[in-house]
Structure 1
Amino acid sequence: GLPFTEPDKVVGAAHLGQSGVDEWASALLQFAGGIVAELSCSISLDQDNVLRIFGTKGRIEVPDFWFAGGNRDVGQGRIDLIRAGHARETISVNETRHVYSFEVDGAGEAILAGRQEFAWPGMSWADSLGTLRVLDKWRAAVGLEYEIEKPAKRLNTIVGRPLRTDGKAIGKRAIPGLPKPTSVVALGFEDFRTFSSGSILLDAFFEAGGNLFDTGYVYGAGYTETLLGHWLRNRGVREQSVVIGKGAHSPLCYPDVIGKQLAQSLDRLQTDHVDIYFMHRDNPDVPVGEFVDAMDAEVKAGRIRGPFGGSNWTMERMDEAIAYAERTGKQKPGALSNNFSLAEMLEPIWAGCVTSSTDDWKAWLTARQMPNFAWSSQGRGFFTDRAGRDKHDSEELVRVWYSEKNFGRRDRAIELANRLGKSPIHVALAYVLAQPFPSVPLIGPRTLDELEDSLRALDIKLSPEDVAWLDNGPERRRA
Structure 2
Amino acid sequence: MTPPAAPLRWAVLGPGSIARRFASQLPSSGAGGIVAVGSSAAERARAFADEVAPGARTGTHAEVLADPDVEAVYVATVHTTHARLAIAALRAGKHVLCEKPLAPNHGTAMAVVDAARTSGSVLLEAYMYAFHPQQRALLDLVRSGAVGRVLHVDASFSFAAASPTGRLFDADLAGGGVLDVGGYPVTMARAVAGAALGRPAVLTSLRGGGTVGTTGVDEWAVAALEFDGGVDGGADGGVTATVRTGVRLAEPPAVAVHGTAGSIHLADPWAIGAGTGIVVRRAGEPEQVLTFGPGTEGHLPYAAEAAALARLVEAARRGEDVSAGAAEHSLDDSLATSAVLDRWRAAVGVRYPFERDTAAIPTASGLPLRVASPNPMRYGVVPGLGKPLSRIVMGVDNQPDLAHASALFDAFWEAGGTTFDTSWWYGRGRFEKLLGQWLTNRGLHSEAVVVAKGGHTPECTPQGMTWQLLESLENQQRERAELYLLHRDNPDVPVGEFVDVLNEHADAGRIGVFGVSNWTTERFDEANAWAAANGKRGFSVLSNHFGLAEALDVPWAGCRHVTDAASKRWLTERQVPLLPWSSQARGFFARADPADRRDADLVRCYYSDANFERKRRAEELAAQLGVPATAVALAFVLAQPFPTFPVVGPRSVDELRASTAGLGVQLDEAQVARLDLRDD
TM-score tier, shorter chain, comes to 0.7 to 0.9
Secondary structure class of the residue paired with 1:170:
coil
Shift of 1:440: 0.9
Gaps of 5+ in 2: 1-196, 230-237, 316-321
Indicate the residue corresponding to 2:73 in structure 1: none
Shift of 1:387: 2.4
Q: What per-residue deviation string (whole Å, max 9, x for no partner) do you get for residues 320-365 of structure 1? A: 2223323333321221111000111101122222111111111112
1:45 aligns with 2:272: no
1:193 aligns with 2:400: yes
Secondary structure class of the residue paired with 2:513:
coil
Indicate the residue corresponding to 2:303 in structure 1: 104
Indicate the residue corresponding to 1:233 in structure 2: 440
CA distance in 2, matches of 1:178, 1:140: 41
Q: Which runs of structure 2 are paired with 1:73-88 in the superposition (5 Å)?
A: 79=279, 81=281
CA distance in 2, matches of 1:187, 1:209: 11
Structure 1 residues 48 and 327 mapped into 2: Cα distance closer, same or farther (>3 Å)?
Answer: farther
Shift of 1:92: 4.8
Shift of 1:269: 0.7
Whether the aligned pair in 2 keeps the contact of 1:11 and 1:29 (CA below 8 Å) is yes
Q: What per-residue deviation string (whole Å, max 9, x for no partner) do you get for residues 161-212 of structure 1? A: 1122586221221112311111111011322222222212211211222110
CA distance in 2, matches of 1:112, 1:135: 29
Indicate the residue corresponding to 1:455 in structure 2: 660
Indicate the residue corresponding to 1:423 in structure 2: 628
1:24 aligns with 2:220: yes
Structure 1 residues 190 and 128 mapped into 2: Cα distance closer, same or farther (>3 Å)?
Answer: same
**One-letter amino acid of the structure 2 residue matched with residue 176 of structure 1:** P
Whether the aligned pair in 2 keeps the contact of 1:193 and 1:220 (CA below 8 Å) is no
Shift of 1:390: 5.0
Q: How many pairs were matched up?
A: 464
Whether the aligned pair in 2 keeps the contact of 1:277 and 1:307 (CA below 8 Å) is yes
**One-letter amino acid of the structure 1 residue matched with residue 405 of structure 2:** G
Secondary structure class of the residue paired with 2:589:
coil
Shift of 1:78: 6.3
Indicate the residue corresponding to 1:36 in structure 2: 240
**One-letter amino acid of the structure 1 residue matched with residue 329 of structure 2:** M
1:359 aligns with 2:545: no
Shift of 1:302: 1.6
Indicate the residue corresponding to 2:529 in structure 1: 323
Structure 1 residues 3 and 219 mapped into 2: Cα distance closer, same or farther (>3 Å)?
Answer: same
Secondary structure class of the residue paired with 1:128:
helix
Indicate the residue corresponding to 1:137 in structure 2: 343
CA distance in 1, matches of 2:670, 2:264: 65
Structure 1 residues 142 and 100 mapped into 2: Cα distance closer, same or farther (>3 Å)?
Answer: farther
Shift of 1:270: 0.7
Q: Which runs of structure 2 are paired with 1:179-328 in the superposition (5 Å)?
A: 179-309=386-516, 311-328=517-534
Shift of 1:3: 4.6
TM-score with structure 1 setting the length: 0.86
**One-letter amino acid of the structure 2 residue matched with residue 5 of structure 1:** A
Whether the aligned pair in 2 keeps the contact of 1:258 and 1:295 (CA below 8 Å) is no
Selected match of 1:337 from 543, 552, 559: 543
Structure 1 residues 152 and 347 mapped into 2: Cα distance closer, same or farther (>3 Å)?
Answer: closer
CA distance in 2, matches of 1:11, 1:217: 30
CA distance in 2, matches of 1:338, 1:49: 55
Q: What per-residue deviation string (whole Å, max 9, x for no partner) do you get for residues 144-171 of structure 1? A: 333444564433x222211225862212
CA distance in 2, matches of 1:177, 1:108: 59
Shift of 1:388: 4.2
Shift of 1:307: 2.0
**One-letter amino acid of the structure 1 residue matched with residue 213 of structure 2:** G
Selected match of 2:641 from 433, 436, 439: 436
CA distance in 1, matches of 2:415, 2:201: 33
Structure 1 residues 224 and 212 mapped into 2: Cα distance closer, same or farther (>3 Å)?
Answer: same
Indicate the residue corresponding to 1:368 in structure 2: 574
Secondary structure class of the residue paired with 1:306:
strand
Whether the aligned pair in 1 keeps the contact of 2:398 and 2:650 (CA below 8 Å) is no
Structure 1 residues 90 and 416 mapped into 2: Cα distance closer, same or farther (>3 Å)?
Answer: closer
**One-letter amino acid of the structure 2 residue matched with residue 319 of structure 1:** D
1:380 aligns with 2:586: yes
Identity of aligned residues (%): 41
Secondary structure class of the residue paired with 1:126:
helix
Structure 1 residues 107 and 394 mapped into 2: Cα distance closer, same or farther (>3 Å)?
Answer: farther
Indicate the residue corresponding to 1:176 in structure 2: 383
CA distance in 2, matches of 1:440, 1:178: 14
CA distance in 1, matches of 2:347, 2:472: 25
CA distance in 2, matches of 1:421, 1:303: 45
Whether the aligned pair in 2 keeps the contact of 1:7 and 1:30 (CA below 8 Å) is yes
Structure 1 residues 220 and 80 mapped into 2: Cα distance closer, same or farther (>3 Å)?
Answer: farther
Secondary structure class of the residue paired with 1:13:
strand
Gaps of 5+ in 1: none
CA distance in 1, matches of 2:448, 2:392: 13
Whether the aligned pair in 2 keeps the contact of 1:78 and 1:90 (CA below 8 Å) is no
CA distance in 1, matches of 2:531, 2:347: 47
- Root mean square deviation, CA, Å: 3.1
